[in-house]
């Protein structure tokens, strides 16, 4: 009997776009079409990253977020269709070639010893904090301990970030343990909340209505486009630019640094809002347990201080030190290019280059920035361990130059100047009486989920 010939079935990009509704979610990867309607419920990266790109080719995003082993799981989702008018831009072709080269060099698997060093450093910092609070009696020693605790939280957050991208440990279970320990237990911030928002940020980098990391109305607005009361597609609510927002945004270039000193409070609130929400939260019980660990040891530690004024200043100092990290995160994006609308799979490299700023520093300061000073490199290759970001930066820069894309690497001072200039410009625009204001006063400073 003659061997049966397999005939390929084709659809067009226009046909693919129509499969973008709940229960009918299709994507294409390298021209092959996959049905992710059911898979979205168990996707480790959450549903937002898929919902934002359904009906499109997502090859570049899939390449960025997934290891080579993930490709074999796609067969179970294959619809049997191929995209007839499938095309690859020169930028995407070069990006995929670069990712393949990094994979051949073993850069994604070679994690170095950064995690061991950082964990050891965090443990030493924690011991120093305990000594400063429990074994010392001077106010100065207690303040030094508070500053040390702030530094501990910064470094622990880097471990939580890296493990959230599965680039810390060799197995998924070890990474999850590192996430819960460094995130929930040590910093009091749910890794479930972080992954929910952070993956969406990566995918929709600097989209005003899709990227949650830019949605800080009524406290901050990086663009006058927020003055039309955009609807957040992430939080699924309207970002009302009301009189309160106008007032706060009008002076945001003055309040920026003071607000950063208390940014940690917002993260605590966001954690609790998500864990108590009706959303599907992966490992909700473990996240609650980790948060309970933090809210056990931290209040107990503070209570060991002799007076209430010392307790207050201990908490204030520790929070203020972490402002350095909050500032760093905003420096990477606030002054970069923004846009309105959903992300698209066809311009992955271009959107990441436009929406990010690198911070230039000497190699001996890499520990302080946690590798995130190479923000573009990290956005292009989220799974790349931070010990390799500096060595791949020149390659990324050359590719940007080749395709006439922005590669902005600023000093810490320059990045602050750019950010304040962006906030000041929007502040002056907010003061313009000609801008329309919604006539209802809604307190949304904490970006509640509704």
Beta partners for 283?
Answer: none
**In terms of Cα–Cα distance, which of 125, 145, 124 is closest to 304?**
145
CA distances from residue 433 to 127, 244, 255, 407 in whole angstroms, order as listed: 55, 14, 21, 36
Weakly modelled stretches of the chain, pLDDT under 50: 1-4, 434, 437-450
The pLDDT, as a whole number, for residue 174 is 82
Three-state secondary structure call for residue 39: helix
The pLDDT, as a whole number, for residue 443 is 41
What percentage of residues in the chain have a pLDDT greater than 90? Answer: 70
Contact criterion met (CB below 8 Å) for 361 and 373: yes
Residue 404: CB partners within 8 Å, gap ≥ 6?
none
The pLDDT, as a whole number, for residue 49 is 81
The pLDDT, as a whole number, for residue 434 is 46
Where in the chain are the domains? 9-87, 90-450
The pLDDT, as a whole number, for residue 6 is 64
State whether the Cα torsion 42-268-285-273 is positive or negative: negative
Spacing of C-alpha 185 from chain mean position: 20
What superfamily does domain 9-87 belong to in CATH?
Cytochrome b5-like heme/steroid binding domain (3.10.120.10)
In angstroms, the CA 20 to CA 355 distance is 26
Contact criterion met (CB below 8 Å) for 392 and 407: no
Residue 286: CB partners within 8 Å, gap ≥ 6?
180, 184
The pLDDT, as a whole number, for residue 450 is 37
**In terms of Cα–Cα distance, which of 168, 131, 126 is closest to 151?**
126
214's tokens: 């830019």
């Amino acid at each position: 009997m003659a061997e049966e010939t397999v005939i390929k079935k084709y659809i067009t990009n226009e046909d693919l776009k129509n499969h973008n509704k709940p229960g009918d979610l299709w994507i294409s990867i390298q021209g092959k079409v996959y049905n992710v309607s059911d898979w979205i419920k168990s996707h480790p990266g959450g549903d937002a990253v898929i919902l934002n790109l359904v009906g499109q080719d997502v090859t570049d995003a899939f390449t960025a977020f997934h290891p080579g082993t993930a490709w074999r799981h796609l067969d179970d989702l294959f619809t049997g269709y191929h995209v007839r008018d499938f095309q690859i831009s020169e930028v995407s072709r070069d990006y995929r070639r670069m990712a393949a080269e990094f994979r051949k060099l073993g850069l994604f698997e070679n994690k170095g010893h950064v995690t061991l060093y950082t964990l050891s450093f965090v443990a030493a910092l924690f011991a120093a904090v305990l000594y400063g609070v429990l074994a010392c009696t001077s106010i100065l020693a207690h303040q030094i301990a508070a500053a040390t605790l702030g530094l501990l939280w910064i470094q622990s957050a880097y471990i939580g970030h890296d493990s959230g991208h599965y680039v810390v440990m060799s197995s998924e279970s070890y990474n999850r343990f590192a996430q819960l320990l460094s995130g929930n237990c040590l910093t009091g911030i749910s890794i479930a909340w972080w992954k929910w928002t952070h993956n969406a940020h990566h995918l929709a980098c600097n989209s005003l209505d899709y990227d949650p990391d830019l949605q800080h109305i009524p406290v901050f607005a990086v663009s006058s486009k927020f003055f039309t009361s955009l609807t957040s597609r992430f939080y699924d609510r309207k970002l009302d630019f009301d009189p309160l927002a106008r007032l706060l945004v009008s002076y945001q270039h003055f309040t920026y640094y003071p607000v950063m000193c208390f940014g940690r409070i917002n993260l605590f609130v966001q954690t609790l809002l998500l864990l108590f929400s009706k959303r599907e939260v992966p490992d909700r019980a473990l996240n609650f347990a980790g948060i309970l660990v933090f809210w056990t040891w931290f209040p107990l530690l503070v209570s060991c201080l002799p007076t209430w004024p010392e307790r207050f200043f201990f908490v204030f100092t520790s929070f203020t030190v972490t402002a350095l990290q909050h500032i760093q995160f905003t420096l990477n994006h606030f002054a970069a290019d923004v846009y309105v609308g959903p992300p698209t799979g066809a311009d992955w490299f271009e959107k990441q280059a436009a929406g990010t700023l690198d911070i230039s520093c000497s190699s001996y300061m890499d520990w302080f920035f946690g590798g995130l000073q190479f923000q573009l490199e990290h956005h292009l290759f989220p799974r790349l361990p931070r010990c390799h970001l500096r060595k791949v930066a020149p390659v990324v820069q050359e590719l940007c130059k080749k395709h006439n894309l922005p590669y902005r690497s600023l000093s810490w001072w320059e990045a602050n100047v750019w950010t304040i200039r962006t906030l000041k410009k929007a502040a002056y625009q907010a003061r313009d009486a000609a801008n329309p204001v919604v006539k209802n006063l809604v307190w949304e400073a904490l970006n509640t989920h509704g």
